[in-house]
Amino acid sequence: MNDTFSPERSDAIRTELVAVVDRAPARPPRRILVGVGLVVAGLLAGGGATAATAGIWHPQPFLPQGQPVTAPTSNLGVVAPAGYAPGQPIVSLVGGVTSYVVDGQERIIQLAVPDGATHLRVTVTCTSAGTTAWGFDAGGNNPNSSCGASDVDTLSATGYMDFDLNDSSAYPQRDLFYVQPGAGVSSIVTLQYLNLIETAWVVNAAGETCGVAKAGFGEPDLVGVEALTPSGEYVTAYARSEQLAYPFPGQTEPTSPADALAQQAQHQQQYPAGIDIPAFECDGVTQVGVFHVG
């Protein structure tokens, strides 16, 4: 069996690969722009953290509750430059990326924050059911994530959170990072340093905010989606947050998990092909297409 790669083809492929990266726009893939506020119930929920209603971008950001983490408290930030949706942070990697397998035992990871890093992104993928706490508090007062057995081996098993390294009140000790799994709980933890610049949502003439969800802060009134235009093209547009959350006529907030399942079954029966909701420009008035739900 000939196991040598043809040098000529290898050189050609290398050239193509280099060009693919060089040609790519200087922004994350388009999916990051899509914050649709769907498909969130039950994702990594439980314990002190719930998955954000941030949309279909994988992995999902966590929204820890009642824990010492920082989050934007107002719609602050620079004006989103071309190629970024309002509210979408401008993220640059600083240094490398490292993954650790955590298997039942507490791990303490020694950090050395490189120059220029503003945040530490921690991505956790559950590889077994259970709860894992992770953060800067040696005593365990940290955000945590939980997975059910059905989450393991699915996209729901992964989530991330960005720790603001400049917030000395929240993280006075930032040289050690603690991963504290429950008994027998395993996960894969990835650390990467970021330089993260917040961008602000646009506020339109009606006072509505427009953009994509900000982790830890919430959603704007008009949420970025990839909408289908009448000519069959997909464009970035904005759907009303409330309609994304409750797209079906008469739909209300479920009062219990059983109610949520009953509503879901009813909607699948009444709208087997799903439903289209209007998508607008940031003004909330000019409709440019529809966003399909279901």
Partner 1 sequence: MRTLWGVEANGGGANLGNSDSDIWARVLSGEGRAFGELWGRHRDRVFRHARHLLAHHADAEDATAMAFLELWRRRQDARVVDGSLLPWLLVVTTNVVRNASRSRRRYRALLARLPDPEPVRDAGELIADQAEARTRLAGFTRLSAADQQIIALVAFDDLPLEDAAAALGISYGAAKTRLSRARARLEEHHE
Give yes or no for residue 112 binding partner 1 (CB under 8 A).
Answer: yes
Q: Which residues, in sequence order, are bridge partners of residue 126?
A: 187
Please state, in angstroms and as integers, the Cα–Cα distance from residue 89 to each residue in 96, 197, 220, following that order.
20, 5, 14
Q: Which stretch binds partner 1 (CB under 8 A): 28-36, 234-242, 252-260, 281-289?
A: 28-36
Cis peptide before 59 (omega within 30 of 0): yes
Q: Using CB under 8 A, which residues numbered 157 to 196 contact partner 1?
A: 157-158, 186, 188, 190-193
Binding status of residue 249 toward partner 1 by CB under 8 A: no
Q: Cβ of residue 286: shortest distance to partner 1, in angstroms?
A: 31
Exposed, middle or buried by CB within 10 Å (0-12, 13-18, 19+), for 289?
buried
Which listed range, 37-45, 95-103, 196-204, 240-248, lies at the site for partner 1 (CB under 8 A)?
95-103
Q: Is 9 in the site for partner 1 (CB under 8 A)?
A: yes
CA dihedral 215, 229, 221, 45 (to 10 degrees): -40
Taking the C-alpha atoms of residue 247 and residue 123, their distance in angstroms, rounded to an integer, is 31
Sheet of 186-197: strand order equals 49-51, 60-64, 158-164, 119-126, 186-197, 90-103
Closest to 191 measured CA to CA, from 96, 70, 91 = 96
- Indicate whether 139 belongs to the interface with partner 1 (CB under 8 A): no
Of the candidate residues 74, 110, 255, 286, the single one contacting partner 1 (CB under 8 A) = 110
Q: Residue 293 CB, nearest distance to partner 1 (Å)?
A: 23
Q: x-or-dash pattern for partner 1, window 40-79, by CB under 8 A?
A: -----------------xx---------------------
Three-class SS of residue 14? helix
CB closer to partner 1 out of 124 and 290? 124
CB of 101 to partner 1, least distance (A): 6
Interface ranges with partner 1 (CB under 8 A): 1-3, 5-6, 8-10, 12-22, 24, 26, 28-29, 31-32, 57-58, 92-101, 103, 105-114, 125, 127-128, 152-153, 157-158, 186, 188, 190-193
